[in-house]
Amino acid sequence: MTDTAPPRFTLDGDEVPFTPGETIIEAAARAGHWIAHLCWHPDFAPHGSCRVCQVEVDGRAVTACTTRARDGQHVVNRSATLDAMRKTLLQMLFVEGNHFCPSCEKSGNCLLQATAYEMGMEGPHFEEFYPDRPVDASHPDVLLDFNRCILCELCVRASRDVDGKHVFAIGGHGIGARLLVDSASGRLVDTDIAPGDRALEVCPVGVILPKRRGFAVPIGERRFDAQPVSAQPHPLPSTKDPRP
């Protein structure tokens, strides 16, 4: 009896084996290939909201986080056209919020910032909105800075699916969409969130931060200071200090 070879697709000319049922981005990450992403995390169902993981499959544009891998597919990930599209999406995310990277606790450990570097983004290009967004410092252990939210919904999914608490939600539509705290007052202090909740770990930017932990890992020693995001196929940095 002979072993059957696993199904494969090509990614920028490289063969990638996959397990039936896997999405393109799951198989690529497992094989050590990086596809740009912001709202995808392997522990949660795909969301497809940021569109940064868009690839071309047999000439058709699809999101890699929601498209199942098929045997014989030809997938293009890094091309001038796709990277230009990603850079435009990143520029729009930067101008829609208030992202002050030099003063942000998440600098060097931020997936948005690292992906912008990878795509060669040199400036916002579009006129900045400078929205008036609050900072919620009401909770004794957790700070919320809504200025940095990119609406990836990872905290919503983590709080609902892992923590079982429904602390966060998304309200509004279009340009008015925003992250909400699901309490009568709308403040984090009036929820049952706890410092060990998964929702605190999955934010790819600097919205949800533990208090009294600022700059525990110095800038220059953080994840994306050591290696660019494209050299790290695994999805998201942890907010936990990796040092003993």
70 shares a domain with 115: no
Domain count, the chain: 2
What's the confidence (pLDDT) of residue 107? 96
pLDDT tens-digit readout, 165-194: 999 999 998 888 999 999 999 999 999 999
Q: Tell me the mean pLDDT in the region 94-100.
A: 94
pTM: 0.91
Please report whether residue 184 resides in a domain: yes
Residue 68 placed within a domain: yes
CATH number at residue 116: 3.30.70.20
Task: Note whether residue 67 is domain-resident.
Answer: yes
Residue 233: predicted pLDDT:
64
Residues 114 and 208 in one domain: yes
Residues 108 and 202 in one domain: yes
Q: How far apart are CA 204 and CA 213, in angstroms?
A: 17
For residue 242, pLDDT over 80 is answered with no
Average pLDDT of the residues in 126-142: 94
89 in a structural domain: no
- At a CB cut-off of 8 Å and minimum separation 6, what does 50 contact? 37, 38, 39, 89, 93, 150, 152
Q: Are residues 179 and 215 in the same domain?
A: yes
**Confidence check: pLDDT of 244 > 70:** no
Residues 33 and 67 in one domain: yes
pLDDT computed for residue 4 by the predictor: 81
Residue 155 pLDDT class (50, 70, 90 cuts): very high
135 shares its domain with 195: yes
Do residue 48 and residue 115 come from a single domain?
no
Considering the domain boundaries, does residue 92 fall inside one? Answer: no
Cα–Cα distances (Å) from 172 to 31, 62, 208, in that order, read 38, 26, 20
- Structural domain of 120: 104-224
Give residue-wise pLDDT tens across range 185-238.
Answer: 999 999 999 999 999 999 999 999 999 988 889 989 999 999 999 998 665 444
pLDDT tens by residue, 58-88 = 999 999 999 999 999 999 999 999 999 999 9
For residue 85, being part of any structural domain is answered with: no
Mean pLDDT of 44-68: 95
Write the CATH number for 70: 3.10.20.740
199 shares a domain with 138? yes
Query: Is residue 239 very low, low, confident or very high in pLDDT (cuts 50, 70, 90)?
Result: very low
Q: Is the pLDDT of residue 241 over 50?
A: no
